[in-house]
Structure 1
Amino acid sequence: MALINSIKSLTLDLPPSCIAFSPLYPQLFVVGTYHLHGKEQQGDLSTENQQHPETTTISSDDDDDNTSPEPAAPQKRTGSLILLHLGDDNTITLLSTTSTDFAVLDIQWSGDVLAVATSTGLLAFYRLDACGSSDEHVKGELELVCEKRVSGSSTLVLSLAWHPSRANVLGLTLSDGRVCLCTSASDIWSVDAVVKVSDVHAHSLEAWTLAFNDQQILSGGDDIQLLCTHIQEQEDPQPLWQDRKLHQAGITAILPLSSTLVITGSYDDHIRLLSLPSIGRKSCLAELNLGGGVWRLKALQPNTSSSISPITLLASCMHAGTRIVQLIRDESEDIWRFEVLARFEEHRSMNYGSDVQPGQRKRVVSTSFYDRLLCLWEV
């Protein structure tokens, strides 16, 4: 197992919560930040509650002092969207910083449109205005297109997923446990667009993540449940199944590989390959302890072959740093296994956001929350 060193690092002004490279301009990437006012923002809180590490996540509202007779005032959250340029020579250049009156919890691209999950029950949409003909001369800025309210102002939008074939549909998860579809009446997200928000299903605690898989939505929550619902064009969603036996703690990442094979990450520090047929027994085909809560998962490169194995993954592992993990299938014995190929451990606090630059050269930018560190490294 290789230990990777950073090529470059820098300290951001605010704690980074998420990161995403532009699919259209691979040298540009955006970092979303999250600042909780009035609470301690320094240090690693992951050891405060060993039994429930999820209480240390960036969306926790818990107050250690429960003796006050007065109700706690809502805590203010703000953030920013930082647009940066990654040069061929590994220089990182700040292009723009957009301050927001909400904290940013997730960002997802669809072409030149960036959907932003906010701490105030809003979806915000920004368009990347970029220009330049060569890598070193590309410039850009983010322009706010519109904001659409999807829940009350005290509800956090925790994660987002664009529908794989319908540009006017976005899936989202909320801190009140709901999983929703947000549908625009047109393919263009604009101030005038009429937007419908419909519930798909609900968790009993925070819904941390979701993914589209064929005509299904899979979601995972703090209640240790994996929920699956069938979505149809003109009809109400139909719940298919639920499972709370495959994980030992909250489910934080879902990455479908096929209609029945899905990789998940959890607060219990494990990455898992699951077999999830619509009818019949759900099972775990492989699992591995990565040393930290597996907050996000991403394939290092698109799988263009008919075979799933092998697939190489980038895993953001909260207090353990970042891992490069390979999923391999031994076809002779029909056995799956995970193997850690490399680890990056220069982060000294929660690694929530990591992304790989699109293209042949596998450069990764990873971040850590409390120390506000951004690191560039290469696989």
Structure 2
Amino acid sequence: MDEEGKLVRSLRSEVLELPPSCVEFCPAFPSYFLVGTYDLQRQTGEQEIADADADASSEDEAGRPAQLKQPQSRNGSIIAFRLCDGDITRIQTVPQPSALLDLRFNPHSGNGDICAAVSSTATLALFRLSPEEEQPLKHLNTMDIAGMSQGEIKPSAGQEILFLSFSWHPLRANVLALTTSTGNVHLVHLRLFDGNWALNPEPILTHTLETWCVAISPVLVASEPLNERQEACRSPFRVYSGGDDSMLRFKTCSWNEGAMVESVSGLASRGHDAGVTAILPLALQEDGNELVVTGSYDEHIRLFEVPSSGKPKSLAEHRLGGGVWRLKLIDLNTTANQSYIWRARMLASCMHAGVRVVELLKTMSGGYRFRVLGRFEEHQSMNYGSDFQPGWMEKLSVVSTSFYDKLLCLWEFEMV
């Protein structure tokens, strides 16, 4: 294997009707996956998602307010597919009134059939996947941020608010954090998936530009082990966010009688040379500090050591050849051997560079090293969405997408 990793070829591919922006397999039904699409109705030329979602108001060279932009018209869809024995079958297409920027299934046992999606009109929609039904994807509820905040959250004149990404809470199945094009991170409490929801209109974290990504991690405490229910009720959690201002921010929070109370804000990291676009907590510690992997527009993947309240410290980095838009953990092996103390492997969606399978090691000497194991480069435009089929044994089945050429590909990678 060369230093750039093994080059992989596709097994299947097809062209979609609309540009794909996100994709995820269903943990409850691993043969099924969803693709979200994003279509911007343009007067002139194409731009990337990030360009289309920049702030709508600005100033000219003399400092005068520029002419306000007209709101962009966007739509999209959710497409349900089945992957079985190497064949992909399209099951259902659900048109959406807004473009979708992120969709994710609930990771909790018993709720893995619930999928949420965030949109270009600042809505959060919930769906349930039921493969036994003739139309398996059913809409449950949609949250409108303006209505829920009772006017406390609204765009300025000539400005739009888009939801850019979100993350489920790792221990509380009905809590998530979402990010906005206006630089904010909000927590949402879904009391019932198809009932009333609660939104905290005060942002838990803020950036000066678009907030591209968010992740929630339980705070690892060296104490007696708790079961999942005890963890959800008692343990604090940490919210990480990354923005177009090149900042990695985080805040540690806790719950008090069912309500979120803020705890400690950390110092933001300036360890990126461009916008922070992906965050992956590893649930590992170094000297009591959490280890977190990030991706950036600057084409680098990085490992940070994050203290409880201080400034994150960069431990390792590696250039992947494209902007690292999304990261997903494949596996984590904490059993030491002759080659490493621990190993994490992850799938990276790298925009114009395609997809990478990346390995991160803590070596026997105590250092950290990234290495590219595999790469998929058949996409001819921005790779924003990739995922692998759950339940893999020795071989990953990966579905990856690219935006402007509307391409969806299936490929496999041997995990050794």
Same fold (TM over 0.5): yes
Shift in alpha-carbon separation, 1:373–1:316, aligned structure 2, 3 A: same
TM-score by length of 2: 0.80
Query: Which residue number corresponds to residue 288 of structure 1?
Result: 318
| Structure 1 residue corresponding to 2:373, chosen from 341, 346, 349 | 341
Question: Is 1:105 aligned with 2:95?
Answer: no
Deviation at 1:39, TM superposition (A): 4.5
Query: Which residue number corresponds to residue 135 of structure 1?
Result: none
Query: Which residue number corresponds to residue 59 of structure 1?
Result: 53
Query: Which residue number corresponds to residue 27 of structure 2?
Result: 23
Query: Which residue number corresponds to residue 227 of structure 2?
Result: none
Query: Which residue number corresponds to residue 91 of structure 1?
Result: 87
**Which amino acid letter does the alignment assign opposite residue 289 of structure 1?**
R
Shift in alpha-carbon separation, 1:278–1:93, aligned structure 2, 3 A: same
Report the number of matched residues: 356
Task: Give me the whole-angstrom Cα distance separating, in 2, the residues matched to 1:317 and 1:39.
Answer: 28
| Residue pair 1:201, 1:239 contacting (<8 A) in 2 also | no
Q: Secondary structure at the match of 1:237?
A: strand
| Structure 2 residue corresponding to 1:72, chosen from 48, 69, 74 | 69
Deviation at 1:296, TM superposition (A): 0.3
Question: Is 1:193 aligned with 2:196?
Answer: yes
RMSD, aligned CA: 2.4
Q: Unpaired runs of 5+ in structure 2?
A: 107-111, 147-153, 219-236
Pairing of 1:291-310 with structure 2 (within 5 A): 291-301=321-331, 303=332, 305=334, 309-310=342-343
Deviation at 1:40, TM superposition (A): 5.1
Task: Give me the whole-angstrom Cα distance separating, in 2, the residues matched to 1:41 and 1:271.
Answer: 31
Query: Which residue number corresponds to residue 384 of structure 2?
Result: 352
TM-score by length of 1: 0.88
Task: Give me the whole-angstrom Cα distance separating, in 1, the residues matched to 2:54 and 2:311.
Answer: 34
Shift in alpha-carbon separation, 1:326–1:304, aligned structure 2, 3 A: closer
Partner deviation per Cα, 1:212-254 (whole Å, 9 max, x = no partner): 1211111111111111112221353234213242111110000
Task: Give me the whole-angstrom Cα distance separating, in 2, the residues matched to 1:38 and 1:286.
Answer: 41
Q: Secondary structure at the match of 1:183?
A: strand
| Structure 1 residue corresponding to 2:36, chosen from 32, 35, 38 | 32
Pairing of 1:1-379 with structure 2 (within 5 A): 1-39=5-43, 55-56=50-51, 59-60=53-54, 71-88=68-85, 90-110=86-106, 111-131=112-132, 141-151=136-146, 152=154, 154-184=160-190, 186=191, 188-190=192-194, 192-198=195-201, 199-214=203-218, 215-234=237-256, 235-257=260-282, 258=284, 260-280=290-310, 282-301=312-331, 303=332, 305=334, 309-331=342-364, 333-360=365-392, 361-379=395-413
Q: Unpaired runs of 5+ in structure 1?
A: 47-53, 133-138
Q: Secondary structure at the match of 1:236?
A: strand
Deviation at 1:290, TM superposition (A): 0.4
**Which amino acid letter does the alignment assign opposite residue 96 of structure 1?**
Q
Shift in alpha-carbon separation, 1:321–1:41, aligned structure 2, 3 A: farther
| Residue pair 1:128, 1:140 contacting (<8 A) in 2 also | no
Task: Give me the whole-angstrom Cα distance separating, in 1, the residues matched to 2:50 and 2:104.
Answer: 25
| Residue pair 1:318, 1:350 contacting (<8 A) in 2 also | yes
Partner deviation per Cα, 1:175-214 (whole Å, 9 max, x = no partner): 1111010012x3x211x31423342121111111111121
Deviation at 1:314, TM superposition (A): 0.6
Shift in alpha-carbon separation, 1:161–1:280, aligned structure 2, 3 A: closer
Task: Give me the whole-angstrom Cα distance separating, in 2, the residues matched to 1:128 and 1:254.
Answer: 27
More divergent stretch after superposition (146-155 vs 263-272): 146-155
